[in-house]
Amino acid sequence: MQFDTHLHWETLLKAADDWKAALDGVEFPWLVWSVDEDWAYVQQKMVSDAGWTPVVGFDPRAGAPKKLTPDAILIDFNKHLQLPIVYMHLPIDFIFHFAPRMAFFHSDLIIRPDKMRWLSELFKDLPDGEIAMTNLTKIKNPFLQKLLVRPFKLFELAGCITRGASQDIFDKGCSMWQGWAFHPNCPDEAEFNKRLKKHWDHGAGLLYWQKRYGGKVTIIQEHFLDEGHFSRTSKDNFKVISDNNENRNTGLDLRSNYNVYELAQAFGIKSD
């Protein structure tokens, strides 16, 4: 997701009213973003078994998944917006408006049960006003590797954002989205020009919130989760099928490379 002039806060917050109603009384929601129904189902099982409530959103290109765990809550985050492509980053920016905290992870991530239990406890114990996110260490692009001399973004491979932190991030004009410098709450032109010099990608705005404003972040080491990250950036034998740009179809890539139920069995996840 990136900032676009036709998206207004009033429209987004009105949409978030529906999300809030759907999650009324849910203490520990975990966002599962469906780009492929079977991958999303395995992730729902992971979340349920860890003691959280799966909140299932979906890329409109994939459609609403029909395969849901009994405790899953399906939300059409795109109902009011009608965008052609929607990433999980859309609702993450508005956690303060609809949930006490929300955990999330990439659609291409499988996590062993013992590691899910560890993440569950970490996220449940996270004080309000703080976040937990993966750091970024593994990347194939030689140009971007040079940027890793200093961190340039927090990585949404897995994470959790509390309501207080989400509100503070929003108020200070930072964001999970791409192009976060264009956030309408950016305080002034001088700050905008400063932000333009920073990295533009997803998660860079959260790193800026940490460094510039003292935001409290618990880092989850990428290598802790990397074995289950089945993506073009993590697996050398990954065959790229879809476009390598903002139109990337992660579901198509995943289906073309893996059988998620075989992976789940190998990782000790009960998916039946």
The domain spanning residue 138 has which CATH number?
Answer: 3.90.550
Q: Residues of the chain with pLDDT > 90: what percent?
A: 71
- Residue 24 in this model has a pLDDT that exceeds 90: yes
Q: Cβ of 195: how many Cβ atoms within 10 Å?
A: 21
pLDDT attached to residue 4: 59
Q: With b meaning 16 or more CB within 10 Å and e meaning fewer, what string describes 229-268? A: bbbbebeeebeeeeeeeeebbbbbbbbebbebeebbeebe
User: Is 2 part of a structural domain of the chain?
Assistant: no
User: Is 226 part of a structural domain of the chain?
Assistant: yes
User: Is 3 part of a structural domain of the chain?
Assistant: no
User: Is 207 part of a structural domain of the chain?
Assistant: yes
pLDDT attached to residue 5: 47
pLDDT attached to residue 199: 87
The count of structural domains within the chain is 1
User: Is 40 part of a structural domain of the chain?
Assistant: yes
The confidence band for 180, taking pLDDT boundaries of 50, 70 and 90, is very high
The pTM of this model reads 0.92
User: Is 4 part of a structural domain of the chain?
Assistant: no
Q: Print the domain residue range for 134.
A: 9-266
- Residue 192 in this model has a pLDDT that exceeds 80: yes
User: What is the mean predicted confidence (pLDDT) over 177-197?
Assistant: 93
Rounded Cα distance, 145 and 220, in Å: 20
User: Is 191 part of a structural domain of the chain?
Assistant: yes
The confidence band for 244, taking pLDDT boundaries of 50, 70 and 90, is low
